[in-house]
Amino acid sequence: MDNLINGRAIADQIHGETAQRVEALKTRGIQPGLVFVRVGEDPASKVYVGMKAKTSLRLGIASDTRVLPEAASEAELLALIEQLNRDPKVHGILVQAPLPAQMRPSLVYSSVKPEKDVDGFHPVNVGKLMLGDASGFRPCTPAGVQELLIRSGVSTEGAEVVILGRGDIVGKPMTSILCQKARHANATVTLCHSRTRDIAGHCRRADILVAAMGVAEFVKAPMVKSGAVVVDVGVNRVADPAAKDGSRLVGDVAFAEVQPVAGRITPNPGGVGPMTIAMLMQNTVRAAELASK
């Protein structure tokens, strides 16, 4: 079925636009700078940071990765962030999650200067998003989902949107983005979570269904209205004896059974993931542009 929303192709389109903006900055003697901060040796974090650093290099963004040991103190991490806050060559700072138990994520993320917070987690940027103030940085994954919808020709005007998952990284900001009185928003948004009654009933009303709850293949075909747009944000590792390492990654949507019902659907992988990185790069270049004014 040719109803796939190709996140890789759309991300490549955005990367092309971002690379042009990088070149424009370089003609003025400015190179966008992005620093990744990683604490510990979490395998998934190493892979994610590596992918982001590789994309930075390809687009001409100067990137660096600072690694602290797992046992590092919160004070050590805050001192490193403050050093990066003061460095004029650093336009974007990304502190990779998860953080060790001895560190408070809310304190860490709020210590990054809002104008360098390319992840969109600082309370100032969160507040601007809630208020519909476009001057802040928006979290990369929900911003990427909106961009996927825009560039796939999916209208959100007056649409019934159901979001599964109330997390701070995707669910809550996704709700804020799509309910704004703004172009490419103006949706009627329902946010469902683990305490929601009759989740399946809510899902069947959705013109656009965004699954971001972190439950492997939770969304089944009977939960999806015929012709609905389904966006799968989930990343879950499940056991698979046939796989090389005994496991494989799946989304929050049972793709094979939902695809025939959906009007449009994102594959997983190859849907939302590439868009998250594309929006991070776009945010970093915008931070450099704003700093140069």
> Length of the chain, please?
293
User: What is the rounded CA–CA span in Å between residue 6 and residue 274?
Assistant: 10
Two tokens, residue 137: 């940085």
User: What is the rounded CA–CA span in Å between residue 124 and residue 107?
Assistant: 13
User: What is the rounded CA–CA span in Å between residue 206 and residue 260?
Assistant: 16
Phi, psi (degrees; rounded to nearest 5) at 149: -65, -45
* CB-based contacts of 276, cutoff 8 Å, min separation 6: 140, 141, 144
> Which of 119, 207, 232, 252 is flagged as catalytic?
119
Q: Tell me, yes or no, if 52 is annotated catalytic.
A: yes
Of the candidates 5, 3, 4, 19, the one whose C-alpha atom is nearest the C-alpha of residue 278 is 19
User: What is the rounded CA–CA span in Å between residue 11 and residue 18?
Assistant: 10
> Which of 96, 146, 259, 282 is flagged as catalytic?
96
What amino acid occupies position 47? V
> Which of 52, 116, 172, 225 is flagged as catalytic?
52
Q: Tell me, yes or no, if 133 is annotated catalytic.
A: no
Terminal CA-CA length for the chain: 48
Listing DSSP states for 44-60 in one string gives HHHHHHHHHHHHHHHHT
Q: Tell me, yes or no, if 113 is annotated catalytic.
A: no
Active site residues: 52, 96, 119
